[in-house]
Amino acid sequence: MTTSINLVPYSFRRRLLIRRRLRQWTVAWVLAACGAGSVSLAEYGLVLTRQHRLSQLEQKCEPLRLQERASVKMQEELDRLYDRESLLAKLERSDQPAQLIGIIGQAATGERREVHIGNFELVPISQMVTEQKVDSNGQTRSISREIVRMQLQLDGLGLDDLAVAGFVAQLREAGVFQSVNLRSSVDARGLSPDVRQFQVVCVYEE
């Protein structure tokens, strides 16, 4: 039986053990750092790839953006043209009162002067108009827009129902109104039973 005796001092052996543990931990930390670096590089590469794809998609979408800007400019130009057209229409109708007096006078006078106009009122009204338009895809869409028209309200007296009906018919035959409606026709208080107090509403053509 052989007996071995370790003659290395204990302090020296402890230093060797510490150095060995330090090397082991150093290697472990280096491997961990390398692993983290590899993961970071992989993530960075993925980010670069996604950025490249994003730039490609933006380049593909650029024509659509240009088309959208062109559409917006075209719509603004159409709005300006529409406003200009509306202004011109209003300017063209600046002599409406004089024309209306002549039309109403002719309709009211007739052969026997059977109608007397007591009140004459011209006011703007708003109406919703629906139009059918075909878009770029060939689909028909309904578009509603608000327009302003002029409404003429007439209050007066008629000799009888026949006189009032004739007055309304002559206004319709004048050809300047979109619609002519007899809103009311009632007995005139304090006058002959046949006399009618009426109200007629006319709307101008666009």
pLDDT per position as a tens digit, 88-105 = 565 455 555 556 666 677
Domain assignment present for 73: no
pLDDT the model gives residue 91: 46
Domain assignment present for 88: no
Q: The CATH number of the domain where 172 resides is what?
A: 3.30.70.60
Q: In whole angstroms, give the CA distance from residue 161 to residue 194.
A: 8
Of 163, 162, 161, 174, the closest CA to residue 203 belongs to 174
Instruction: Give me the residue label for tokens 């790839």.
Output: 49
Structure-model confidence comparison of residues 161 and 8, the more confident one: 161
Domain assignment present for 177: yes
Domain assignment present for 35: no
Domain assignment present for 119: yes
| CB-based contacts of 123, cutoff 8 Å, min separation 6 | 150, 151, 153
Which helix H or strand E contains 113, and what residues bound it? none
Domain assignment present for 117: yes
Query: Residue 118 belongs to what domain range?
Result: 94-204
Structure-model confidence comparison of residues 58 and 137, the more confident one: 58
pLDDT the model gives residue 34: 85
Please give the DSSP secondary-structure letter assigned to residue 133: E
Question: pLDDT per residue over 4-48, tens digit each?
Answer: 665 656 676 777 778 888 888 888 888 888 888 888 888 888 888
pLDDT the model gives residue 181: 92
Record the tokens describing residue 75, joined without a space.
């719509």
pLDDT the model gives residue 95: 52
For residue 85, pLDDT beyond 80: no
Domain assignment present for 196: yes
Domain assignment present for 150: yes
How many structural domains comprise the chain?
1
Q: What is the mean pLDDT of the chain?
A: 78
